[in-house]
């Protein structure tokens, strides 16, 4: 049987660190208010001349180096983002050119904060079908350019960064299963109100801003992530105790703690980066995975559960033997 196995991980965070104290100077908020509600202490924002593709190139190269392969061995790029450089061509195509990989398939995928999980699921199918052997899977966001400074409930949350993995066909177990879902009936609870076909008239200066009903999003996230934990374990005939590490989407510490409680998992077995990174949406899980690996906590042979929830609504999980 052919599996998709993670052979390398990489990440990148912009140098510009913005603390809660810094945000106190920009809006009516406080360090304590932000920490109490989200667990966030600081976040990284891209430099003025730094783009989504700039960031993901760093993460991609680090993932390929970590995998111990030549860049030329990559035969597909799947990139998850809600903040591409351009509407088209895709950021995956722009990244492909920078990496010197002409001719291979390259495309973007947008499932909001669940994008990286969706990308893993799609890549897993390509490898299992034999259509690809080594896939570069990325998650990246430049959300600092979509913040509404008049809405402190969202402006304090979102941040920038990139993560990537190299998936390789293997006879050894890797991705055991992926589970992806969506429910567009709740689209008005988390999203934006501008776009190409809808127009940009609703946003000042032709920009965009994130709109969120925080209370309802929180309730939906806790409920759906609890359900997907059960779904994932049942699909693999596993018990909660079989999971070594939970690597969740880093949106809110309270949501992360609720999912850990569902698994009866102590927080010492959860990779938490939300305090340092904020919510980096599509980059979130990939960043946390790379930190878990590079810190030495996540080791070969460990069973890890990745999960995420995002606007759409979308949600998903990946159970992986690392």
Active site residue ranges = 113, 249, 279
Q: Coil, strand or helix: which one is 192?
A: coil
CA dist., res. 19 & res. 267, Å (int): 24
DSSP assignment of 214-266: HHHHHHHHHHHHHHHHHHHHHHTT--GGG--EEEE--S-HHHHHHHHHHTT--
Rounded to the nearest 5°, which phi and psi values hold at 265? -105, 130
8 Å CB contact between 162 and 85: no
CA–CA dist 283, 211 (Å, integer):
19
Contact, 55 vs 79, CB < 8 A? no
* CA–CA gap between residue 214 and residue 216 (Å, rounded): 6
Q: Residue 60 and residue 120: Cα distance in Å, rounded?
A: 15
**Residue 56 neighbours by CB under 8 Å, 6+ apart:** 12, 79, 81, 91, 95, 138, 140, 162, 164
Alpha helices in 143-186 (DSSP H): 152-155
* Cα gap 150→91, rounded to integer Å: 30
Among 159, 140, 213, 142, which residue's Cα sits nearest to residue 20? 159
Place of tokens 């809660």: 20
């Amino acid at each position: 049987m052919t599996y998709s196995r993670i052979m390398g991980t990489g990440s990148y965070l912009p140098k510009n660190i913005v603390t809660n104290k810094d945000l106190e100077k920009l809006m009516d908020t406080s360090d304590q208010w932000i920490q109490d509600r989200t667990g966030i202490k600081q976040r990284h924002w891209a430099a003025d001349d730094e783009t989504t593709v700039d960031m993901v190139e760093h993460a991609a190269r680090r993932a390929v180096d970590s995998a111990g392969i030549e860049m030329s061995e990559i035969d597909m790029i799947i990139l998850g983002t809600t903040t591409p450089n351009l509407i088209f061509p895709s950021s995956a195509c722009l990244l492909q050119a920078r990496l010197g990989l002409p001719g291979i398939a390259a495309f973007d995928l947008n499932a909001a904060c669940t994008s990286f999980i969706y990308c893993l699921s799609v890549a897993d199918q390509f490898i299992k079908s034999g259509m690809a052997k080594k896939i570069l899977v990325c998650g990246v966001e430049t959300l600092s350019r979509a913040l509404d400074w008049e809405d402190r409930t969202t402006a304090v949350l979102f941040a920038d960064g990139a993560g990537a993995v190299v998936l390789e066909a293997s006879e050894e177990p890797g991705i055991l299963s992926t589970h992806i879902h969506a429910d567009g009936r709740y689209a008005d609870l988390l999203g934006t109100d501008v776009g190409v076909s809808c127009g940009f008239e609703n946003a000042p200066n032709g920009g965009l801003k994130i709109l969120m009903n925080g209370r309802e999003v929180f309730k939906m996230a806790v409920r759906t992530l609890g359900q997907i934990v059960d779904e994932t374990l049942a699909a693999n005939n596993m018990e909660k105790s079989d999971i070594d590490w939970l690597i969740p989407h880093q949106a809110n510490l309270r949501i992360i703690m609720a999912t850990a409680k569902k698994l009866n998992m102590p927080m010492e077995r959860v990779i938490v980066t939300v305090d340092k990174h904020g919510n980096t949406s599509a980059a979130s899980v990939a960043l946390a995975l790379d930190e878990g690996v590079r810190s030495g906590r996540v080791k070969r042979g460990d069973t890890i559960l990745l999960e995420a929830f995002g606007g759409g609504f979308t949600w998903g999980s990946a159970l992986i033997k690392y």
